[in-house]
Amino acid sequence: MTGYPIFRAVAEQGLLVEFGDAITAEAHRAVLHLDAMLAAQPPEGFREAVPAYVNLLVSFDPLKADHASIETVLRRLIALPPLPETAKTPREVLVCYDADLSPDLPEVAARTGLSPEAVIAAHLAGDYAVFLYGFAPGYAYLGGVPQALQLPRKDAAVRGVPAGTVIIAGPQCIVTTLTMPTGWWRIGQSPTRILRDDPARPFLFDVGDPVKFRRISRAEFEAAR
C-alpha cells in the first residue's frame, strides 16, 4: 500500500485514515487492525471509530485532543504488531432463488455468460465477510462476490425492492433490511433476519464475521419467514 496511510481532517472532531483507493483484502485488514488497536488502547479524547472498506473515521473530543495529537497516536498504533486475533462468528444466511424472488437472475446469467444455475452455484461458493455497515439500518456490505459474477450497477434504480432481497454489484453483496430502491442486481430472497429486536445487539453480524449463503427451497423459505 505505497503512499498509505493518508490522514484527512474531518471538521474539528474527526480524522479519516485511508489505507487504499480500491477494495482489497490488504486494505481492509489494515482498517480492522487499527480498529482493534483503538479498542485496546484508546487515546485521550477518543469517542468512536467507524470502519469502512479502505478507511476508518476516528471521532474525538476537540476539547481533549486535536488532529495532530490523534494522528501521532494513530501512527503508533498502526505500526504495532497485530493483537491475537479474536475468533469471528461464522454466520449463515438462507436464500431462495425461485424465479419470482430473483427477478434479475436471468439478466445476470446473460451478462456473465453463465447459466442461471451456474450463477447460483457461484454465488453460494463466494467467500464472504462483513466489511462494514452503511446506507440504511442493518445494511451489511459483504465483500467476496466471485469475479465471475461482478457486474457494475444498473443504469437506473428499481423502486420497492422488498426487505430480504439478496443483491450484488461489483465485489459486494447485501441482504436488504428495508423496502427501498436499488440499482444492484436482485438474485434471491432471504428469510434470515438481519435486524434484531435487541438494543444490545441490533444486527445479526459483526464487522469481520464470515458469511455463507445456504440455498433453501420455496417451502423452507415460506416456513422461515
Q: Is residue 85 part of a domain?
A: no
Q: Residues 184-200, buried b or exposed e (16+ Cβ, 10 A)?
A: bbbbbbbbbbbeeeeee
Domain membership of residue 84 (yes or no) is: no
Residues 64 and 96 in one domain: no
Residue ranges making up the domain that contains 22: 6-79
Residues 129 and 219 in one domain: yes
Same domain, yes or no: 61 and 120: no
Number of domains in the chain: 2
Whole-number pLDDT of residue 145:
95
CATH code, 220: 2.40.100.10
Distance (Å, whole) CA 10 – CA 78 = 19
Crossing angle for the helix pair 116-125 and 105-112, to the nearest 10 degrees: 90
103 and 195, same domain (yes or no) = yes
Residue 104's identity, in one-letter code, is D
What is the reported pLDDT for 225?
87
203 and 95 in a single domain? The answer is: yes
Do 123 and 152 have their domain in common? yes
Q: How far apart are CA 120 and CA 132, in angstroms?
A: 24
Is 38 in contact with 15 (CB distance < 8 Å)? Answer: no
The whole-number pLDDT of residue 95 equals 98
Residues 95 and 27 in one domain: no
Please indicate, yes or no, if residue 55 is contained in any of the structural domains.
Answer: yes
- CATH code for the domain of 43: 3.30.1360.40
User: Does the residue 188 lie in any domain?
Assistant: yes
Domain boundary among 53, 79, 105: 79
Does 218 map to a domain? Answer: yes
Q: Output the pTM of the full model.
A: 0.81
Dihedrals φ, ψ of 53, to 5°? Answer: -60, -50
Long-range CB pairs of 20-26 (<8 Å, 24+ gap) are 20/54, 21/54, 22/54, 23/53, 23/54, 23/131, 23/143, 23/170, 23/171, 23/172, 24/54, 25/143, 26/1
Say whether both 98 and 167 belong to one domain: yes
Give the Å distances, CA to CA, from 10 to 15, 67, 120: 5, 9, 42
Taking the CA atoms of the chain, what radius of gyration do you get in angstroms? 19
Q: pLDDT truncated to tens, each residue of the chain (225 aa)?
A: 678 999 999 999 999 999 998 888 888 889 989 999 999 999 999 999 988 889 999 999 999 999 999 999 999 999 998 877 777 889 999 999 999 999 999 999 999 999 999 999 999 999 999 988 888 888 899 999 999 999 999 999 999 999 999 999 999 999 999 999 999 999 999 999 998 888 888 889 888 899 999 999 999 999 998
Sole residue written with cell 480500491: 22
